[in-house]
Structure 1
């Protein structure tokens, strides 16, 4: 048995150090330690412990990797490109709990220090031009887009990713805290935190997976973002807090394909801290931004803090609860009733009613499709260690 375990450790790059005393009446096993590196090709369970992740670690098809509750996985950007990649046909399972989350963090605590968690599934996508497959922009250059809407890439529960958003290899853009390529509805994403990354908190490229009880905190681009025909239907309790630097609360698009994907999200809170500034290349300040045929139904929403933004040069950009970026989206999605925002409570925001990105885009929602309210409650999340960083409760 020892020989088999040692062989498994070599195959996965894992070396555990633990000790116990036969003299103890109640043995206490200390946290395991070890390094995770290279490709993982067989099933591995990492017991509760403190690990380091070194390099771009890929979980290959047929393998399942499990992290037990309370484990911390630390990355050091000085080692180069780092990320945890779940390939199509593989599974990642994190067994965090409210008081013992699984945490992926980075040694320097600087946004953009590693590539985060990247998951590939086998669910459908619809990319620009109407195609069903695309090539990932994460530096891995992997084809995505499948045929199984209920595909299962694992279960991420009570898991936090900190300081992600690095560009890997020759990737077209930065990565996110969590990135999902064609991930299917058989996958569980629940009680996740994306904390202080250098791009989006969460980004979906196609797929059918849903996300529940999610926090995007202090990410420098958008809190929630999707394209390529993502169509999750059971999303609820999304909380975003944009502080320091950040663009849109939610960036919603469908890669310029007229569609009826109609994702659904209920119980949403989008907050922008005083003094928050957008990225210099964007200068747009919207809670909800729809473009390239994005649509969907959103309900029980709190929007706070999306006021106008004036650059140091004196140029003012409109802050809005809802912005429609292009005339095609206005014609095909707004006017046909495929965008609904219901029970919306708005404060400290310049433009309460939906606006167009330019004066030429006249936005008028059909009756009943944009409804404000004084009683919306937004996201409802239970505090705990899963949502606490350096003593700060991220749910407030």
Structure 2
């Protein structure tokens, strides 16, 4: 059995009695509703294409711009919410990126604010083969420490970010799906589905799915944002990627890898760096806390995969710190957990060479506790006996004290079009069945669960229902294309701009 690890009692985390993202109880399924889609091609019925189409050309949106759910919107080029302005998107609004004006993407500048609150059965949908959403803030990122123009420059040349305000408030985003996004501007310079640059912990981003992205699905560059209920499905690169001093928190998140990515190089569920140019950069060191993740690799999905795709479940490198608690790591082609670089683990060791705090998740710089691993390829690992749990065990020591290699018995985690990540009653991820979960730090954010992973065994508690279809191609029915289409051209959105759910919106630029 395992020592239970309590998540931090900081007002954010919930204490639960399971590993993973979902409870076994149906009433607790946070994926319920139409906001989740797993369709690999999209579903045109979602988009209501009969709505009027508003075309937004490259530039700044007017002040207080509202995306109405009576329209559809087409963005052409770089469309932005400028410093000092606000944009609002109504529930049920669909916004498309132009495929003829490339790259088309949506930017919230430092000092701009976005209010994008969908509903479980009226999600906000960003779709098309486009650049994605880039959100800039003024929190610390270890590429800069001022709020002036000499701060960090975003990937894709999407603008500047960084500063000193770790409580920066860039707005809210809930029940939103960003799909078929990502664009390579140049080698190693890409736009992602959702890029969060130095956002502070007053920016609220919860119940968000990124789907079928051509690069990373969620990526953080610095900042302190705290998230619950994230879904990252079928990306060509990493599911959750952080670097440059990200120090936030994530609880209840699902990553399902794409077995046959377009570029054939699907990478990791989580990739974490401190700073790729200076591993020891301590301006603000990457040190996030993840709890109750359900991470599903290519060995567990319904697709052949290839020897050239599918990396580690979790990879910390280049000086990153962090904690992973009460999570399920299932079916990764290379390894479950991987640590690289001595600078990464330097802060996680005490003077005797042992991990600082392997039995308690309260204060260590690196902690891996209460996790369930299963069917991860052991071939690239130093310790094959732990089912592909960890590479570089010599660097890290012996961390397998409170983690367990056991089948989490999720309902149907491998389906690409209709997956179900809820643990079965006999799941090894449940505290009652062989797996005492760790007690997370009492920090006001993390919730204590009685299961490992993102979901409880109760279908009623499946938080993925209702807003996250998984169609690999998208579903036009999501978008209600009969609404009027508002076109947002490249530029800065007006202060307080509201995206009305009576419209659809098109971003140009």
TM range (shorter): 0.7 to 0.9
Match of 1:43 among 64, 73, 77: 64
Q: How does 1:293-308 map to 2 (within 5 A)?
A: 293-307=319-333
Do the aligned partners of 2:370 and 2:452 also contact (CA within 8 Å) in 1? Answer: no
Q: Which residue of 2 aligns with 1:104?
A: 126
| Cα shift readout 1:244-277 (whole Å, capped 9, x = no counterpart) | 2311110011111365653111110110134334
Q: Which residue of 2 aligns with 1:138?
A: 156
Structure having the larger proportion of residues in strand: 2
| Cα shift readout 1:303-349 (whole Å, capped 9, x = no counterpart) | 11113xxxxxxxxxxx2111112232233436455211111111111
- Over the residues paired in the alignment, what is the CA RMSD in angstroms? 2.5
Do the aligned partners of 1:242 and 1:276 also contact (CA within 8 Å) in 2? Answer: no
Q: Relative contact order (C-alpha < 8 Å, sep 6+): which is higher? A: 2
| Cα shift readout 1:355-374 (whole Å, capped 9, x = no counterpart) | 12xx9x54314685x63363
Structure 2 segments unaligned to the other structure (5+ residues): 1-49, 350-354, 357-363, 379-387, 406-427, 430-450, 456-461, 475-509
* Total equivalences in the alignment: 335
Measured in 2, the distance between the counterparts of 1:288 and 1:198 equals 19
Measured in 2, the distance between the counterparts of 1:284 and 1:384 equals 27
Measured in 2, the distance between the counterparts of 1:62 and 1:50 equals 25
Measured in 2, the distance between the counterparts of 1:353 and 1:236 equals 21
Structure 1 segments unaligned to the other structure (5+ residues): 1-29, 107-112, 308-318
Do the aligned partners of 1:342 and 1:372 also contact (CA within 8 Å) in 2? Answer: no
SS in 1 for 2:454: coil
- Asked if 1:371 is matched to 2:387, the reply is no
- Asked if 1:152 is matched to 2:169, the reply is yes
Q: Which residue of 1 aligns with 2:465?
A: 384
Match of 1:241 among 243, 248, 256: 256
Q: How does 1:13-28 map to 2 (within 5 A)?
A: none
- Asked if 1:276 is matched to 2:305, the reply is yes
Match of 2:368 among 341, 361, 366: 341
- Asked if 1:206 is matched to 2:222, the reply is yes
Instruction: Compute the displacement of 1:53 (Å).
Output: 1.4
Measured in 2, the distance between the counterparts of 1:32 and 1:96 equals 20
Q: How does 1:279-358 map to 2 (within 5 A)?
A: 285-307=311-333, 319-333=334-348, 335-336=355-356, 337-351=364-378, 352-356=388-392
Measured in 2, the distance between the counterparts of 1:229 and 1:126 equals 5
Q: Which residue of 2 aligns with 1:266?
A: 291
Do the aligned partners of 1:185 and 1:209 also contact (CA within 8 Å) in 2? Answer: yes
Alpha carbons of structure 1 residues 273 and 355: separation in structure 2 relative to 1, 3 Å? closer
Alpha carbons of structure 1 residues 258 and 136: separation in structure 2 relative to 1, 3 Å? closer
Instruction: Compute the displacement of 1:384 (Å).
Output: 3.2
Do the aligned partners of 1:174 and 1:198 also contact (CA within 8 Å) in 2? Answer: no
Measured in 2, the distance between the counterparts of 1:202 and 1:126 equals 19
Instruction: Compute the displacement of 1:54 (Å).
Output: 1.4
Runs of 4+ aligned residues of structure 1 deviating over 6 Å after TM superposition are none
Do the aligned partners of 1:293 and 1:333 also contact (CA within 8 Å) in 2? Answer: no
Do the aligned partners of 1:41 and 1:62 also contact (CA within 8 Å) in 2? Answer: no
